[in-house]
């Protein structure tokens, strides 16, 4: 499928994992394409032993901001406010830059001490923030499968992030403690290896397992977009404990959120 006209998608992803494994994931997204110029945002809380509590809105709210060395975001519509105080350096990569367009990935908080306020209830944990800017529609990429994940130590002092494209354009990237790894990482079902160390994933808890196309079709303002998005896209996201052992054989425990998106 070929898109027509200019395309720009900006997606912020923010998360907080509390000490007991309760995870909250927030997205702020804007799209400029096919005459559409809109934004939407979503917050989902995955508490242990309870179904996901999800809220979303198409009402315009400002994107997250980086100020005074932290990342802040607020949606009065959803009754949520987040603050991430990074404890490791940020990182940025151009995942794609060719005649078809550009994908710029900015990891603004690979590891952070994070707090989330939901309707007057405040909780804290380790957190992560990234921003993706795309001028090529993701469904036009020659990718069969995307694997992404982030691990943060319990004290928020260490982090591992990975991106793995599989298909006709296989590429892999890894960031450890804010440093882009000089060689490709090895991403497996049970962990991630890099020159900086090994991350061993524990038993996963499924956060969601869903059709991306079906999710978009449920947002009326995105019906035109959803009609052009392959309905076969499928996303599975997990949360689990994991241990990272660095090159000096020092091991640290922490929480991981990771996912697989299958495009075909």
Per-residue pLDDT, 3: 46
Per-residue pLDDT, 196: 96
User: pTM higher than 0.85, yes or no?
Assistant: yes
Q: What is the pLDDT of residues 220-248, one digit of tens each?
A: 556 666 666 666 789 999 999 999 999 99
Burial of 14 (0-12, 13-18, 19+ CB in 10 A): buried
Instruction: Say yes or no to pLDDT of 4 above 60.
Output: no
Nearest CA-CA partner of 164 in 146, 151, 176, 179: 146
Per-residue pLDDT, 221: 58
Q: What is the pLDDT of residues 115-151, one digit of tens each?
A: 999 888 899 999 999 999 999 988 888 899 999 999 9
Question: Rounded CA gap, 203 and 187, in Å?
Answer: 16
Q: What is the pLDDT of residues 189-208, one digit of tens each?
A: 999 999 999 999 999 999 99
Question: How is residue 186 written in tokens?
Answer: 């090895």
Per-residue pLDDT, 225: 64
Say how many C-beta atoms besides its own lie within 10 A of residue 210's C-beta. Answer: 12
Q: Tell me what the mean pLDDT of segment 29-58 comes to.
A: 91
Distance of CA 136 to the CA centre of its chain: 18
Per-residue pLDDT, 220: 58
Per-residue pLDDT, 230: 60
Q: What is the pLDDT of residues 154-179, one digit of tens each?
A: 999 999 999 999 999 999 999 999 99
Nearest CA-CA partner of 132 in 95, 104, 110: 104
Percentage of the residues of the chain whose pLDDT score is greater than 70:
91
Q: Tell me what the mean pLDDT of segment 77-95 comes to.
A: 96
Per-residue pLDDT, 155: 96
Q: Tell me what the mean pLDDT of segment 37-45 comes to.
A: 92
Burial of 226 (0-12, 13-18, 19+ CB in 10 A): middle
Of 1-10, 104-113, 138-147, 236-245, least confident by mean pLDDT is 1-10
């Amino acid at each position: 499928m070929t898109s027509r006209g200019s395309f720009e998608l900006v997606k912020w992803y923010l998360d907080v994992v509390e000490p007991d494994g309760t995870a909250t994931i927030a997205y702020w997204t804007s799209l400029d394409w096919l005459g559409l110029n809109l934004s939407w945002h979503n917050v989902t809380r995955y508490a242990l032993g309870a179904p996901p509590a999800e809220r979303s809105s198409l009402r315009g709210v400002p994107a997250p901001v980086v100020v005074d060395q932290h990342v802040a975001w607020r949606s009065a519509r959803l009754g949520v406010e987040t603050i991430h105080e990074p404890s490791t350096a940020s990182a940025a990569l151009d995942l794609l830059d060719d005649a078809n367009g550009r994908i710029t990935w900015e990891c603004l908080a690979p590891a952070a001490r994070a707090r989330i306020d939901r309707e007057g209830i405040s909780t804290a944990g380790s957190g992560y923030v990234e921003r993706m800017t795309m001028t090529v529609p993701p469904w036009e990429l020659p990718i069969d499968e995307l694997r992404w994940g982030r691990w943060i130590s319990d004290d928020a002092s260490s982090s591992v992030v990975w991106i793995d494209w599989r298909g006709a354009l296989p590429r892999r990237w890894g960031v450890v403690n804010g440093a882009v790894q000089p060689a490709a990482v090895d991403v497996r079902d049970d962990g991630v290896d890099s020159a900086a160390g090994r991350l061993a994933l524990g038993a996963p808890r499924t956060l969601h397992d869903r059709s991306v196309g079906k999710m978009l079709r449920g947002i009326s303002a995105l019906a035109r977009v959803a009609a052009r998005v392959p309905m076969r896209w499928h996303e599975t996201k997990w949360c689990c404990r994991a241990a990272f052992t660095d090159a000096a054989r020092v091991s640290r425990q922490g929480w991981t959120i990771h996912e697989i998106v299958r495009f075909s």
